[in-house]
Amino acid sequence: MENPDEQSKKIENYEYQIRLLELFQEFLITISKKLELNDLAEYLLKFIKNSFNAEACSIIINHQRFFYGNINSESLIIAENAVLEEVAKRKGNVILNNINSDTLTFHLKLGLEKTLVSIPIINEGKIIAYVNIYENIKNFNFNELKILQEFLNKASTSIYNSLIYNQVSRKSMLDPLTGVYNRRFFMQKLITQLNTFEKFLSIIMIDIDFFKNYNDRNGHQAGDYLLTEIVNVIKDNLREYDTIGRYGGEEFILILPEVDNLKALEICERLRKAIENYNFKFRDSQPENKITVSAGLTTTVTRDLNYEELIKEADNNLYKSKKSGRNKVTNSLILNKNLHIS
């Protein structure tokens, strides 16, 4: 006959197994509903934090890093990347008992006395995500690691579904040739910006000069090259929170949030000159042996107009640039619905 202590331990173990099973079922139901990558990553981080008492954690999905805790320093991210390379080689867990002294990371001199566990999440033989857990060296629990591994293994299908969903969703937003927002999705962005900006909202319409000549003389593949390369030049001269979309065949449109008219004009001129001075292929087939663009810029300080009126103003300015000789910027400031200053 079992003694009371053994019976108590068995009861505790049964209760633990029941709680674990309930947690597991809730986890699977909840994570299967997370289709947006941000939502899924946020849920996983909270789950790991709350269910396994992790001090800090990061998740890398689709080259994006999500994290909680004080682990966003540049040197620590470098350390993580070194560990992830090792995980990719092994296709299995990598455990650094002490980040500060492990051979993979000691040269970085992080001064961080923590255990780091990096876990790959694998679907059909491919790593689709990584989980990095930081713990106090004395508190790390290998039994909990095994349990967490089981949870993450079951999460792989949901993560894969989220990746596919976001790929399809993103493709519906983008122009297939240039990779910038298509016209429909760009308009949604512009409407949002027009309803939420605080002081200034500037937009720029850009048209490639003599694009038909370039296309006819060099072929459609060269035309595609020119469109994609001009997009790259534009991106190199914008801030990360500016927005670019393809408006038409060789027309592009930009949103510069909270940029006043003078600053927007500087940006527009910088773009124009960067394109004019860029060594595009077949530039010698164009007038004056160079690729140029014309631009129409407008800035509004009022929300007393709709997005179509804002675009029409920029388009009118673009037309003036084209008519007055090309390779120019025409500018205006909208003070209210009826007062536009050129």
The percent of the chain in helix, strand and coil, each rounded to the nearest 5, is: 50, 20, 25
Count of Cβ atoms closer than 10 Å to residue 114 Cβ:
21
For 136, phi and psi rounded to 5 degrees? -60, 135
Local structure of residue 301 (DSSP, 8 states): S
DSSP helix/strand/coil, 180: coil
Exposure b/e, 251-283, CB count within 10 A at least 16 = b: bbbbbbbebebeebbebbeebbeebeeeebeeb
Report d(CA 115, CA 120) in Å as an integer. 17
Choosing from 250, 258, 309, 313, the catalytic residue is 250
Identity (one letter) of the amino acid at 340? H
Q: Which two tokens stand for residue 100?
A: 């500060």
Active site residue 258: no
Characterize the bridge pairing of strands 329-336 and 293-300.
parallel
Query: Which residue numbers are catalytic?
Result: 250
